[in-house]
């Protein structure tokens, strides 16, 4: 199928699925970007809060897309600059060689094989004098194997701050500025119709609006390696374009070799999926990541096509009814034989 036809057909498909979900009151609305080469099309259906229409320039809490839009490229840059070795133990960067996590590597964190504690809960460290990185490394290690772990990316965010002597949000802001992503940022954002609210956690209270949905990231001031970023469909498209260009050998913010390695299967993730460095990889060569709030980015390096979806599906509850159908439509649009499996988060 020609790129132009694919663009039109896929845009219509995503628009149709979003309309079904909005009409069923399963989510307030969503925005999407569908692109290939120098062409892209935007989709916007429904509202941000039941009142104000959504649009391609509305900011959404991208949740775990933070891992691949902030932490992962910053790690790639650190590797290219020689300040981080993916295979070096954390004891080279943090004190405490006797800690259980001292020998965990950045590569293991990126592939979710670090054996760090799978429970992200950070409340037990509140009010203590223990350094957060030390606390993460001090917990007993889990059994070997593949386990999706937020704590590893929290640790990578802390490591990047230590390596560069700057806060993670400033490091990421500089990165996004180079990419022309003018609307991507860590929160908080001012409450407005241009920002989609997330979950109403307490009956009778207002929803979270312009502040990070993830509880651990909230405890960290809204800036963390695993969550906290807000972005728009426009910026998501710009990001996908650049990553695909780098994959093809272009020069830019991170080496193309790092992108290609990251998008190659590293470990078995189950459900016929592999985990690269941060990204999931399907048997058909689609690379993607999801965010708990109802966000996803799918790319197919072979064809240069991509689909990015931003919703606030948690606005109506954590069941996020219908989200699997939306993600399946986005993923299967990239390869006709794509399988309809889902993975965390």
Over residues 326-342, mean pLDDT: 75
- Containing domain of residue 21, as a range? 3-72+167-334
CB-side exposure of 265: number of CA atoms within 13 Å? 13
| 153-189 per-position pLDDT tens digit | 999 999 999 999 999 999 999 999 999 999 999 999 9
Q: Is 25 within a domain?
A: yes
Look up the CATH number of the domain holding residue 301.
3.40.710.10
Q: Is 245 within a domain?
A: yes
* Count of the separate structural domains present in the chain: 1
| 284-312 per-position pLDDT tens digit | 999 999 999 999 999 999 999 999 999 99
Closest Cα partner for 276 from 147, 64, 112?
112
The pLDDT value given to residue 203: 87
Q: Is 327 within a domain?
A: yes
**Residue pair 175/140 in contact by the 8 Å Cβ criterion:** no
Is the model's pLDDT at 336 over the cut of 70?
no
| 241-273 per-position pLDDT tens digit | 999 999 999 999 999 999 999 999 999 999 999
Q: Is 150 within a domain?
A: no
Query: What's the sign of the alpha-carbon dihedral 273, 275, 279, 281?
Result: negative
Q: Mean of the per-residue pLDDT values for the chain?
A: 95
The pLDDT value given to residue 344: 45
The pLDDT value given to residue 345: 61
Q: Is 90 within a domain?
A: no
Q: How confident is the model at residue 343 (pLDDT cuts 50, 70, 90)?
A: very low
pLDDT above 90 covers a percentage of the chain that reads: 90
Is the model's pLDDT at 339 over the cut of 50?
no
Q: Is 94 within a domain?
A: no
Q: Is 15 within a domain?
A: yes
Is the model's pLDDT at 1 over the cut of 90?
no
CA distance 17 to 13: 6
Please give the span between the terminal C-alpha atoms of the chain, in angstroms, as a whole number. 32
| 83-92 per-position pLDDT tens digit | 999 999 999 9
- 190 or 121: whose pLDDT is higher? 190
Q: Is 113 within a domain?
A: no
């Amino acid at each position: 199928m020609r790129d132009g036809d694919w663009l039109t057909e896929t845009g219509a498909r995503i628009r149709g699925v979003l309309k079904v979900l909005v009409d069923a009151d399963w989510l307030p609305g969503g925005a999407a970007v569908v692109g290939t080469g120098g062409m892209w099309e935007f989709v916007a259906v429904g509202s941000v809060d039941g009142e104000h229409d959504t649009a391609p320039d509305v900011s959404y809490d991208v949740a775990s897309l933070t891992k691949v839009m902030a932490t992962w490229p910053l790690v790639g840059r650190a590797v290219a600059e020689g300040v981080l070795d993916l295979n070096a133990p954390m004891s080279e960067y943090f004190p405490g060689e006797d800690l259980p996590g001292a020998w965990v590597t950045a590569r293991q964190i990126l592939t979710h094989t670090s054996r760090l504690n799978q429970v992200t809960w950070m409340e037990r460290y509140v009010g203590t004098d223990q350094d957060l990185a030390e606390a993460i490394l001090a917990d007993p290690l889990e059994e070997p194997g593949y386990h999706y772990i937020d704590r590893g990316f929290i640790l990578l965010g802390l490591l990047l701050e230590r390596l560069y002597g700057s806060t993670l949000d400033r490091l990421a802001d500089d990165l996004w500025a180079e990419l022309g992503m003018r609307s991507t940022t860590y929160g908080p954002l001012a409450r407005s119709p241009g920002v989609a609210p997330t979950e109403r956690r307490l009956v009778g209270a207002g929803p979270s609006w312009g502040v990070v949905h993830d509880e651990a990231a909230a405890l960290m001031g809204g800036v963390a390696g695993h969550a906290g970023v807000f972005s728009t469909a426009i910026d998501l498209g710009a990001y996908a374009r650049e990553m695909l260009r780098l994959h093809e050998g272009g020069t830019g913010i991170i080496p193309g070799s790092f992108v290609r390695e990251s998008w190659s299967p590293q470990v078995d993730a189950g459900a016929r999926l592999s985990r690269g460095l941060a990204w999931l990889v399907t048997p058909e060569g689609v690379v993607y990541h999801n965010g708990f709030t109802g966000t996803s980015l799918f790319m197919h390096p072979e064809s240069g096509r991509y689909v990015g979806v931003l919703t606030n599906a948690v606005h109506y509850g954590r069941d996020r009814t219908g989200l699997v159908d939306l993600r399946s439509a986005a993923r299967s649009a990239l390869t006709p034989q794509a399988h309809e499996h889902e993975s965390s988060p």
